[in-house]
Copies of this chain bind each other. A is one copy, B any other.
Amino acid sequence: MVLGAAESPVLSFDVGGTDIKAGLVDAKGVVLGMRRVPTPLDPARPGEAVVERLVELAMELAAEFPATPAKAAGIIVPGIVDSMAGIGVYSANLGWRNFPFTAEAEKRLGIPVAFDHDVRSAAAVEHALGGSKEFSEVVVMVVGTGIAAAVFSGGKAVTAGGFAGELGHAQVPDPDAGPRSTAATILEAVGSAGGIAKRYQRASGTPVPGAREVLALAASGDSTAQRIWAEAVDALAFTICQCVNIIGTEAVVIGGGLAEAGDELLDPLRARVDQILDFQRRPRLIRAQLGQDAGLLGAALNARALLGAGQ
C-alpha cells in the first residue's frame, strides 16, 4: 500500500480557504477521527492563528486515540509553498507571506512536521493510486472555483520553489476581447467552474449558482450557455496543449467540481486538444478518482515519508 507499512498513525491537516480537515491516518490510509473546522482568519497573524488551531485539533485527536500517539504530522496549505524550506511563501486567500510553518508547528506539536502544497500533495496520491500511475509526464488539475495544478516530470513533482503548477494564472486568448485579437486573459477567468458561472451571468444577465447549471442550460439549448461552455473547453484545451508542448505531458488528470461533468467535459476537451495538436503525442485526459480525502491522504503520505520505512 502506498502509505507504507508503518503501524503508527500520523496526524494529517488539510488547511483550505474555508475549512481545516484533520484526522489521524493509519498505515493503510484509513482516516480516524476525521473532523472539519473553519479556518481561522486573523489578518494580523494569519500563520500563527492556523498553527494554534492545528495544535488544538492535535490535542483533541490525542485525547480521542490515546493508545496510538502520532509520531509525525503532515500539513498542507494552498498558495505558494516552499516545502523544502518549510515556508508558506504566499496565500492570497489566507493572508500569510513567508510564514515558517514547519518550524512553528514542530515547536508546538513536538513531532516532525512535513509541510507541503495542498494540490501537489493530493495530486501525488491521485497520481500514485489513480488513472495516471502508468505515466511519468503528468499534470493534475483541480478545476473548481479557481484552478490549481501539480506538474510531474520524469515521475517526480516539479516544485520550482513552489512556483510551478500555476495553470490557473496562465494566459489564454480572451474570448471577451474586441477585434484586437492578441488580447489575453487567464485560464481561471474562462475555464474554471467559478469563471463559467460568472461569465454566463455577465453575458445573460441571469444569475446562476454554478457551472453545473450552465451545463444544464447548454444541454437544454441555451445558446449563451453553449458558447460559455465551449469557450471554457477551448481555454482548458489551450492550457493543456501548452503543457504538452513545453514539457511533453502524457496524461492530464482533472479533478475538482468541474470534473463532475464527466464526459460532458472530457469528450469535447479531448476533441479540442486533438484539433490543436499537430505531430505531438495526444495526452490522455483522465477524470480524478480520489475524492475529498485526497488532501488528507497526501499530507499523511508526506508525514510518513519523514518516519522512513521502518516506522
Contacts and interface: CB of A to CB of B under 8 A. Distances in A.
Interface of A: 80, 90, 92, 136-137, 151, 153-154, 156, 158-167, 169-175, 177-184, 231, 234, 238, 241-250, 276, 278-281
A158 B238 CA distance: 21
Contacts of A136: 160
A223 to B, nearest CB: 16
Contact of A182 (B80, B90, B174, B250): B174
Contact of A178 (B161, B179, B276): B179
B171 A276 contact: yes
Contact of A246 (B154, B234, B247): B247
B169 A278 contact: yes
Contacts of A175: 181-182
A247 B171 contact: no
Contact of A154 (B158, B163, B234): B158
B184 A246 contact: no
Given A92-B279, A181-B181, A279-B90, A170 B241 contact: yes
How many copies the complex holds: the figure is 2
A177 to B, nearest CB: 4
Given A160-B249, A169-B245, A174-B182, 13 more contacts: A92-B279, A137-B161, A151-B246, A153-B153, A153-B247, A163-B244, A164-B246, A166-B246, A173-B173, A173-B182, A180-B181, A246-B247, A247-B247
A183 B179 contact: no
Contact of A167 (B173, B179, B246): B246
A26 to B, nearest CB: 32
A87 to B, nearest CB: 15
B182 A231 contact: yes
Nearest to A162: B248
Nearest to A164: B248
Nearest to A250: B160
Contact of A247 (B164, B183, B244): B164
A160 B247 contact: yes
CB-CB nearest 4 A-B residue pairs = A160-B248, A163-B248, A173-B182, A170-B245
A176 B171 CA distance: 19
B181 A173 contact: yes
Contacts of A177: 181
A167 to B, nearest CB: 6
Contact of A281 (B153, B163, B244): B163
12 contacts: A153-B158, A153-B164, A154-B158, A160-B247, A166-B280, A170-B245, A173-B184, A178-B179, A181-B183, A182-B231, A246-B246, A247-B247
Contact of A238 (B171, B248, B279): B171
B165 A160 contact: no
Contacts of A92: 279
Contacts of A154: 156, 158-160
